Amino acid sequence: MSPVATQDIEQARDAALAAADDLFYRRGTSAVSVVEIRDMSGVSLRRLYSMFPSKADLIGGWLTHRHETWMAWLETEVAQRTADGVAPVEAVFDSMTEWLKSSEFRGCAFINTHAETGELTAEHEELIRAHKRALIEFLATTTTRPNELAVIIDGAIVQAAVFKSTRPIESARACASALFGNEMRSAPME
């Protein structure tokens, strides 16, 4: 039927999503053209459009991919620190601090994309909300007051991006400290 180079469909998809992740996150979805993603990924326009029938679909694929990798990253980071005896809330803040300090940090991809209403479809909105809901649910598994914590974290992410500084995360930590009291200052429950 059609075995020609059909094997590397997965590779092509990975390459496309890797390029999308780099370019969309760094410059925003509307400022990046599909041709640029072709140039960076090496995946031809034809294949790109066969995998993602429109740019909106490509953005949707990117959001889904980014959600999975980012959540997995956070869960790993927090798990490692709590395994070392760090209290969960502290573990979350330590992980966040590391992210905010990284040179490629440009804020939350989902918040940023939400701000670009130009091409924000209903499907994208739902992906963004689902990400934020998932973060809150994850926080709920390790801490009390997940909603409050999520508000504090989003505020810190946004301000860190605007001010290009890690100081907002320290303000955020102070908020959490007031909120959680000694839930922050001890190992989980040993």
Partner DNA sequence: CCATTGTGAGAACGATCATTCTCACAATGG
Partner DNA sequence: CCATTGTGAGAATGATCGTTCTCACAATGG
CB neighbour burial string for 114-125, b if at least 16 within 10 angstroms, e if fewer: beeeeebeeebe
CA distance 101 to 111: 18
Place of tokens 């007051």: 145
DSSP symbol at 53: S
At its nearest, how many Å lie between DNA and the CB of residue 94? 38
Nearer to DNA (CB atom), residue 13 or residue 173: 13
Q: Which residues bind DNA (CB under 7 A)?
A: 1-6, 9, 12, 31-35, 42-47, 49-50, 53-56
* Nearest by Cα to 14 from 47, 55, 46: 47
Q: Which helix (H) or strand (E) holds 129?
A: helix 122-142
**Binding window for a copy of itself (CB under 8 A); candidates: 25-33, 55-63, 82-90, 95-103:** 25-33
Residue of the chain from 111, 138, 166, 183 that contacts a copy of itself (CB under 8 A): 111
Residue of the chain from 9, 11, 26, 73 that contacts a copy of itself (CB under 8 A): 26
CB neighbour burial string for 128-167, b if at least 16 within 10 angstroms, e if fewer: beebbeebeebbeebbebbeebbebbbebbebbbeeeeee
113 binds, among DNA, a copy of itself, none (CB under 5 to 8 A by kind): a copy of itself
Residue 150 binds a copy of itself (CB under 8 A): yes
Residue of the chain from 54, 101, 163, 187 that contacts a copy of itself (CB under 8 A): 163
Footprint on this chain of a copy of itself (rule: CB under 8 A) = 26-28, 30-31, 106-107, 110-119, 128-129, 132, 145, 147-148, 150-156, 158-159, 161-163, 167-168, 171-172, 174-175, 178-179
